[in-house]
Amino acid sequence: MTSLPPGAALYHLDVKIGQRSAGKSALAAAAYRAGQRLYDERLGREYDYTRKRNIVDTFVLAPPGAPDWCQNRAALWNAAEAAERRKDATIWREVEVSIPRDLPRDQWRQLVEGAVAPYLACGCVVDVALHAPQGADGGENGHAHILLTTRAIGPDGFAAKKNSSLEEIFRGPKGTPHGEALRIERARWADAINSALRAAESNRRVDARSYAERGVDRAAEPTMGERDARRYARNRRPSARQRHVGALRALHKIENQILEMECNMVKETKIPYAGSRQKVKLELLRERLPPDLDLSPYKDAVYMVDVRDQNRTRIQLRDDSWVEIDHKAERIKTWGPAHGGAVRFADATADALGWQRDTVTRLPTSARTLGPGRRLDADAVKTRAEWWREQGFADVTVTGHRVLVAVGPSRLIDFGDKCELHGPITEDAVRAMVTNAATNYGTPPRARTWGSPEFRAMYWLEAQRQGVTVVDYEPPEHVRAAWEAEQAKTARAGAAVAAVSSKADLARAVRAFAAGDVEKPPTPALGAVIDALTPDQRARIARAEPYEIVPQLAGLQQRGAALIADQQSAGDRPEALAEHAVETVAPAAVTALVPRP
């Protein structure tokens, strides 16, 4: 019996960077992971990890056209170190990913080779080490260490600039929310691992989301590294962390056994499982709250207890008032009916915990929206909760026939045909309410609003962006003026982006023609300039980035036209044309691309 939830496989993915300013060496990292002896030419130091055990396989993958020396681990990472000049340079990126036990060892390499394809497509060299150390439970904990060069490799060695394509994989294009690109990368790896598990005919799957995002009432286990496991093997005495993890796993195994037993009983007797639900709720509160807190006045008033987060307890009372206790921050929030039982419960809890009364904050009902449709029923509420999670909200709770969503310091309660905002009116909360209306309030979507003038103005502006019609609200003149100014700014930005995009496309076409990838020049004038250059000069343009070429396009076009006009007078002499091209092109920035012959 495993400690994992039924049908789940262990999933761990961590992305790290190797920075010179932190005293790290690419040779040391590669030697440790591959279990080899490597010499660092920059530091004049040898790293010997040939005694390291539990290494299943090591291999280096390089993109097409890479030099043969890339397959030599010492030559590869010494070249990567030599390519960097800064004392705070990032030498490598590392992706460490777990491999489920249900996947046979002979399929590990195939899994990794398929999953690292996007890195190779970016021009990276990929150094892989597959490890299988023994876990605390005696089984093997398979995982892969994947080291990536931060510069693209070509026939002549590493590129002069950092690999922007690789950065986009882990950080996203400019403007991407923090962590979003890594979330996408984690999901991509999870899909690759699940494909391998399906091929191995395993019924277990990995999930890149956290327990909270999946709505699983379970705390994540602390990680234990190989060093901690080796220490235990030497001393035969478990560390505090090992004891903690062992206790968690033993508890999870018991919970899984009970769950399996209850499921079998239900199947055999055809009788639904009926426990004392109210007793369970009070027991949960007794575990989280001080023993001197008298719960007897609330034994029939508690409707729902949420203890999924070990640092937070959330209680809904039957009068639809709420209490949220943040044990770590020592704060209590309440919302719902002003005279509901939540206020009394919060005050009593603060006294029992020894907190001041000013730690209790009431979130007033700030605003409401109403749309077409019906209240959520038992089936629809689960679908709506899943929809909120798909929008990126991790703290989503189903309670009765409604959905509670935490949006920063505010709380939204979605009834299906109505959405209430409790707490501060923030841009995130308003945007979430409008998105809900745009998706769930009919076609075309329509909504009514109640709240302060500030809220109604913010809602109307966001509704214009998302295509929602706001009924019974006429925005003031300054709100309309703000919307018109925003539209004008968007139009200007769109035109600027289009212009930049077209220039970038032309720059890429120039680079492709200079490299010989295409036979037809982007324009006759640009073709004349490039044809007149020496092979070395053309190669420099072929290696340039589009942003380096864009500022020179106008000058190149003009000089190309002049070259065509002067071709006869120049006597069709290539050296004369080349000299003319270099002399007459705007000199300031082009000299880096096309130096004097």
> Does 587 or 281 have the greater pLDDT score?
281
Angle between helical axes of 524-531 and 477-515 (0-180°, round to 10) = 40
What's the rounded Cα separation, in Å, for the pair 35 and 30?
A: 8
pLDDT for the residue 490: 72
Q: Report whether pLDDT(561) > 90.
A: no
The highest-confidence range among 132-136, 227-231, 357-361, 367-371, by mean pLDDT, is 367-371
- Is residue 92 over pLDDT 90? yes
DSSP state of 63: -
Binned at pLDDT 50, 70 and 90, residue 419 comes out as very high
Q: How confident is the model at residue 496 (pLDDT cuts 50, 70, 90)?
A: low
Q: pLDDT grade, residue 301 (50/70/90)?
A: confident
In angstroms, the CA 418 to CA 441 distance is: 10
Across 280-289, 380-389, 413-422, 435-444, least confident range:
280-289
- Phi, then psi, of 225 in degrees rounded to 5: -85, 175
| pLDDT at position 22 over 80 | yes
Task: Give the per-residue pLDDT at 487.
Answer: 86
Q: What is the pLDDT of residue 273?
A: 29
pLDDT band at 521 (very low <50, low <70, confident <90, very high): confident
Mean pLDDT check: name the lowest of 122-136, 212-226, 320-334.
212-226
Q: Is the pLDDT reported for residue 587 higher than 50?
A: no
Domain 365-475 class?
Answer: alpha beta
pLDDT at site 401 = 85
Nearest to 61 by CA among 107, 116, 16, 122: 116
Q: Which of these ranges, 151-160, 271-280, 492-501, has the smallest mean pLDDT?
A: 271-280
Looking at the predicted structure, is the pLDDT value of residue 379 above 60?
yes
Q: Which two tokens stand for residue 303?
A: 């409707």
pLDDT at 538 over 80: yes
Report the pLDDT value the prediction gives residue 279, as an integer from 0 to 100. Answer: 60
For residue range 503-515, what is the model confidence (pLDDT) as tens digits?
778 888 888 888 8
pLDDT band at 495, cuts 50/70/90? low
What distance in Å separates the CA atoms of residue 367 and residue 361, rounded to the nearest whole number? 18
For the stretch 137-154, pLDDT in tens is: 677 889 999 999 999 999
| Domain ranges within the chain, ordered by starting residue | 13-209, 226-269, 279-363, 365-475, 494-590
Q: pTM above 0.85?
A: no
82-91, 121-130, 293-302, 382-391, range with the lowest pLDDT: 293-302
Whole-number mean pLDDT of the chain? 83
97/23 Cα distance (integer angstroms)? 24
Q: Which CATH number fits domain 13-209: 3.30.930.30, 3.40.630.30, 3.30.1490.20, 3.40.50.150?
A: 3.30.930.30
Lowest mean pLDDT among 125-129, 142-146, 317-321: 317-321
DSSP class of 222: P
